[in-house]
Structure 1
Amino acid sequence: MDKSDRQPTYRWVIVTASALILAVSMGATVNGLSAFIVPMQDAFGWQRGDITLINFSGIMGLAFGGLVMGPLADRKGTRPVVLGGVIVLGLCYLAASVVTSLWQFYLLFFIGGFFGAGAIFPPVMAAVGNWFQVGVGTAIGIASAGQALGQGGVPFVSSLLIGSFGISGAFGITGAVMLAALVPLACLLRNPPQRSAAMQQSDAAEEENRLPTRTVVMRMSAAITLCCICMSVPLMHLVPLIQDRGFSAEQAGSVIFVMLLVAIIGRLSFGMLADRIGALPAYMTATAWMTLMVFGFIYVQNIGSFYAYAVIYGFGYAGVMTGVLVSIRMLTPPSRRASAIGIVIMFGWFGHAIGGYQGGLLYDLTGNYTAAYAVAALAGILNLIIVSSLFRKTRRLEGMAMAA
């Protein structure tokens, strides 16, 4: 191996900084609002469907923002794009502490998603993948485990902050923490060293044996839309579902916190699994796990059972996003990787926004969460069908390449 192609030690700084940035930023953006649903309903009299539209606005902003910011990071570098994103996101949460109208929340969260979280997720994940040539599944698993930690920790901490400081205080403290913690971490990010000519030639040879990038992006976009519709229902509506059973906000928040703590192990484990059995098989395994279990939350009645079920569900569900990201990394060339991530993840956030919103809407229409969780399970089944067809195509292409 050319000396310039040895994996540099600094790659672990990139992974650590990325995991921490994703923990706070994605935890707040993706499902941090779940802790605010019932308090905002009680304080303002808004329906849950209207409140979840705040989350919808933020995720739609993230979806469209990632489509722009991924290629921008390729041109300008990871650090300036991510640094701008964490500043915008922190300022938007600070501003949310002083607004009281729904349209103001919608606007702020869309801005925070587009210019904030959208400038963080695709560039960070592309950077982690590009710093690793060996063990990329494990590296992405660690980084995405940070996101899992945030998606469990932020709602739990938000529940505590709301209880102590109210809705406005919780938003303000979250914004201040973002600015204080994420700006220094963003300054640690940088692009990987230039690869040697020999390795670039090897990349070109591998690209000839891949499916066309357009095919990969189209099928992965359809699949991730459906899998995110499935996963977003518990992420956004498990806390209110538990509260509807008569348990406190703190108890409900602690269940999803435990679930997503286990998800840290799950994301790392499925990243390692992807390194062993392949990215798409690992993705399908995680999706099947999530799909088989998601509707079961409807039948859980006591808090102890919620903890137990969430632990089992959380380990398997966690591998889905790791599988998606590693699959994109393995199926696309480096020159188009950030753009591919931006497009595919855009559709993922579409699915997440749709799933979260339909959960609140169907609750308002039916008075319970049965229909919402049934839609989640159906979306998971359709996702498995699409990913299985992509896997068969890649296997046929690999077989043809070996026979040639």
Structure 2
Amino acid sequence: MSTMQAAPEPRYRWIVVIAAALLLGIAMGMLVNGLSAFLVPLEMQFGWERADVAAINSFGLIGIALGGIVMGFLADRMATQTVCLIGATSLSVALLVAAHAQTLWQFYSLFFLAGAIGGGALFAPVIALVGGWFRTGAGLAIGIASAGQALGQGLVPYAAGYLIEVSGWQNALTYLGVFSALTLFPLSLLMREAPKAPLAAAGATKPAARLPSWIVLPALSIAVLGCCSAMAVPLMHLVPLIQGVCGVGAEAGGPLLVMLVAAIGGRIFFGRLADIIGPLRAWMAATAWQTVLMLGFVLVGTMEAFWLYAPLYGFGYGGVMTGVLISVRALAPEARRASATGIVLAFGWMGHAFGGWQGGLSFDITGAYFWAFANAVMFGLVNLAIVGAIYLATQRRAAAI
């Protein structure tokens, strides 16, 4: 054991981290909130209600939730590289076909499949793979990888907004589909399995590992449902909120972009913080930050204020998902990390789907976004309470032993 611990870790692990960050940025940027730039154009083109248009994104997230479970189990049993190639193909084809969709059910079906096969293959398995390459410092590594997702979630809607203005929503989807194919395939080829020795030496924190899985996984799943229902509201509705309040067009994506650029720093910071104080405490700190600042978006009234407030919120928001991912790694059995990540994140994507949909529904009912963001605050408080209870349970179990 001492020889294994003393052996240097492979340098290739950092190539995996950077490739994972780029892969997650492109894929999740398309699926998690890339459609935010398409809400108003599709609403104007077809005359659909905003909740109906927002549900396109929700169907994609439900697909990620269900597909992530299946793909997580597959990644525990077959090469992650193969799983990622399947996902890259599905996402690229779905975007290209969606450019020709004309009905809601076509959009719903295409984005469900893109999420189930594409997003499901390109998130949980990749995060589990990154953690497996690190004996120490896994929090920082996962934080960097997930920071790529934050950057993609900012860049994709921002770029899509300008593509729509220049060429229309159909050509914009086509360009995004081609770009996905040209980038995701080579990045997927870099997703090699970690050597056996580092995996054998890796371990979760001892107190967390002593909690039974039948308690931990349901509790984490419910907690993630709350935090993702909260964060989905600004991710999906900040752009149309700014468009309505400030009367602007594509430039409404600017504050969302700086919010998610700030989230890059937050994901890395809270990842490193998790290595120091533990994943659950880091997760609670980030959740409290996000929840406290959530309602401020509906109190902002100018573009200048949105530009200043969005990154302040984004830094804390970015740490939430890092806390989730590192906590699952710490609490799940090593041999089942990909499947456990898929199961827990299934509830996260369901939360994203629900949060984005309820934001559109609240707007349709009230004509404003106040209750959409107020509900998000309540979801965040539920998350904070459950994570706190998990933390106290792990502390008591560790003290008893």
TM-score range normalised by the length of the shorter chain? over 0.9
Deviation at 1:195, TM superposition (A): 2.2
Paired residues for 1:5-404 under 5 Å? 6-195=8-197, 199=200, 206=206, 210-401=210-401
Query: Retained in 2: the 8 A contact 1:145–1:263?
Result: yes
Query: Retained in 1: the 8 A contact 2:81–2:190?
Result: yes
Deviation at 1:107, TM superposition (A): 0.5
AA in 2 matched with 1:15: V
Query: Retained in 2: the 8 A contact 1:2–1:196?
Result: no
CA distance in 1: counterparts of 2:254 and 2:203, whole angstroms: 45
AA in 2 matched with 1:291: T
Aligned-partner SS, 1:289: helix
Unaligned runs of 5+ residues in structure 1 are none
AA in 2 matched with 1:283: W
Deviation at 1:336, TM superposition (A): 1.5
CA distance in 1: counterparts of 2:310 and 2:373, whole angstroms: 15
Query: Retained in 2: the 8 A contact 1:34–1:236?
Result: yes
Deviation per residue, 1:218-243 (Å, 9 max, x gap): 11100000000110000000000000
CA distance in 2: counterparts of 1:154 and 1:314, whole angstroms: 16
Deviation at 1:247, TM superposition (A): 3.1
Deviation at 1:249, TM superposition (A): 2.4
Distance 1:284 1:362, change over 3 A: same
Aligned-partner SS, 2:373: helix
CA distance in 2: counterparts of 1:273 and 1:209, whole angstroms: 19
CA distance in 2: counterparts of 1:72 and 1:22, whole angstroms: 18
Query: Retained in 1: the 8 A contact 2:204–2:329?
Result: no
Structure 2 residue 8 is matched with structure 1 residue 2:
no
Query: Retained in 1: the 8 A contact 2:208–2:330?
Result: no
Aligned-partner SS, 2:246: coil
Unaligned runs of 5+ residues in structure 2 are none
Query: Retained in 2: the 8 A contact 1:127–1:191?
Result: yes
CA distance in 2: counterparts of 1:325 and 1:219, whole angstroms: 14
Aligned-partner SS, 2:59: helix
CA distance in 2: counterparts of 1:251 and 1:208, whole angstroms: 45
CA distance in 1: counterparts of 2:209 and 2:87, whole angstroms: 36
CA distance in 1: counterparts of 2:393 and 2:245, whole angstroms: 46
CA distance in 1: counterparts of 2:198 and 2:312, whole angstroms: 44
TM-score between both structures, scaled by the size of structure 1 = 0.96
Deviation per residue, 1:103-135 (Å, 9 max, x gap): 100000001011111111010000011111100
Aligned-partner SS, 2:247: coil
AA in 1 matched with 2:26: V
AA in 1 matched with 2:248: S
CA distance in 1: counterparts of 2:355 and 2:69, whole angstroms: 20
Deviation per residue, 1:291-337 (Å, 9 max, x gap): 00101111100001001110100001110000000111111221111
AA in 2 matched with 1:306: F
Deviation per residue, 1:364-383 (Å, 9 max, x gap): 01111111111000010111
AA in 1 matched with 2:240: P
Aligned-partner SS, 1:139: helix
Query: Retained in 2: the 8 A contact 1:49–1:357?
Result: yes
CA distance in 1: counterparts of 2:309 and 2:4, whole angstroms: 49
CA distance in 2: counterparts of 1:180 and 1:57, whole angstroms: 25
Aligned-partner SS, 1:192: coil
Aligned-partner SS, 1:100: coil
Query: Retained in 2: the 8 A contact 1:288–1:384?
Result: yes
Where does structure 1 differ by over 2 angstroms across 4 or more consecutive aligned residues?
Answer: 1-6, 202-209
CA distance in 1: counterparts of 2:339 and 2:41, whole angstroms: 39
Q: Taking every aligned residue pair, what percent have the same amino acid on both sides?
A: 49
Aligned-partner SS, 1:75: coil
Q: In angstroms, what is the RMSD of aligned CA positions?
A: 1.6
Query: Retained in 1: the 8 A contact 2:207–2:394?
Result: no
Distance 1:316 1:205, change over 3 A: closer
Deviation per residue, 1:331-382 (Å, 9 max, x gap): 1221111111010000000000000000001110111111111100001011
Distance 1:204 1:279, change over 3 A: closer
Distance 1:169 1:389, change over 3 A: same
Distance 1:159 1:204, change over 3 A: closer
CA distance in 2: counterparts of 1:169 and 1:329, whole angstroms: 40
